[in-house]
């Protein structure tokens, strides 16, 4: 199985600020990497697929980068609705594994 190591597990930031979350795969997954946002009590929402492609309707302040084993999700100009949990996921091979998650809190 491919292991996905996500960091940090939590971070705090201010409205208007910028944050980055990283995800490392235990083997080369090319660009088969997605990022999801989840708020309490809700299903995850797709933000980015193919490592850097923004899902339709997702604000441009979200961006993804990387390929191979190292990936980054960056959020610019943080808005109040961005404070949530974020997960990376590889879909290069089954089982399709997720990172442990990153909880973004307001400073």
- Give me 17's structure tokens: 């600020």
Min separation Cβ 15 and other proteins, Å: 26
Among residues 34, 73, 75, 104, which is the contact residue for other proteins, using CB under 8 A? Answer: 34
Among residues 36, 73, 75, 104, which is the contact residue for other proteins, using CB under 8 A? Answer: 36
Q: State which residue, 13 or 50, has the beta carbon closest to other proteins.
A: 50
Size of the site for other proteins (CB under 8 A): 21
What single DSSP character describes residue 1? -
What gap in Å lies between CA 72 and CA 67, rounded to an integer?
A: 9
In sequence order, what E strands does the chain have?
4-7, 10-13, 19-25, 33-38, 45-49, 53-54, 62-67, 70-75, 85-90, 102-106
In this structure, how many other beta carbons lie within 10 angstroms of the beta carbon of residue 97? 18
Residues 42-71 that bind other proteins (CB under 8 A): 43-46, 49-50, 53, 55
Which residues are at the interface with other proteins (CB under 8 A)? Answer: 34, 36, 43-46, 49-50, 53, 55, 87, 89, 91, 94-101
């Amino acid at each position: 199985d491919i292991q996905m190591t996500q960091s940090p597990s939590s971070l705090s930031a201010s409205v208007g600020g910028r944050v980055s979350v990283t995800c490392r795969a235990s083997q080369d997954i090319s660009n088969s990497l997605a990022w999801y946002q989840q708020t309490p009590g809700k299903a995850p929402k797709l933000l980015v697929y193919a490592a850097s492609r923004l899902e339709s309707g997702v604000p441009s302040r979200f961006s993804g980068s990387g390929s191979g084993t190292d990936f980054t999700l960056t959020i610019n100009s943080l808005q109040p609705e961005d404070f949530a949990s974020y997960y990376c996921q590889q879909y290069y091979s089954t089982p399709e594994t997720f990172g442990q998650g990153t909880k973004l809190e307001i400073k």
